[in-house]
Amino acid sequence: MYIYNVTVNIDESVHEEWLTWMESHILEVLNTGRFTTAKLTEVLVEEDMGGKTFSIQYTANTREDLDDYYKYDAEKLRGDGVKKFSDKMLTFRTELKVIKEFYPTSVEN
């Protein structure tokens, strides 16, 4: 499993508009069929540059799904946000490969 993480710092003057737009954008990304889930989170560390920072984490089952997203979908979908918020946001992306997931075990008293 792979996580495609997009971290965005958005100017406070447009962050509410961006959040509304982001909800539909996430659905567009999911509707490519390359990802199984997405999480939108707010980063709780204050940035020196100001603004609000968010992380969007898309989960892909395979590396091929992620590569296909880059090949067929990413340019157009990234361009939509750049056109709308270009000078009001800073974005960076990371890829994570899930090695193993852990869950709590039941503890008997």
We report the CATH number of the domain holding residue 73 as 3.30.70.100
Question: Given a cut of 80, is residue 109 above it in pLDDT?
Answer: no
pLDDT at 49: 76
Q: Per residue in 62-93, is it b (16+ CB within 10 Å) or e — as a string?
A: eeebbebbeeebbeeeeeebeeebeebbeeee
Using DSSP, state whether 90 is helix, strand or coil: strand
Structural domain total, the chain: 1
Q: What is the pLDDT of residues 13-36, one digit of tens each?
A: 999 999 999 999 999 999 999 999
Task: Assess if residue 103 is contained within a domain.
Answer: no
Tokens of 44: 């709780």
Give the residue-averaged pLDDT of 77-97.
89
Task: Assess if residue 107 is contained within a domain.
Answer: no
Question: Given a cut of 80, is residue 97 above it in pLDDT?
Answer: yes
Task: Assess if residue 13 is contained within a domain.
Answer: yes
Question: What's the pTM?
Answer: 0.89
Look up the domain containing 86 and give its range: 2-97
Distance in angstroms (rounded) separating the CA atoms of residues 39 and 48: 25
Q: What is the pLDDT of residues 33-86, one digit of tens each?
A: 999 999 999 999 877 778 899 999 999 999 999 999 999 999 888 888 888 888
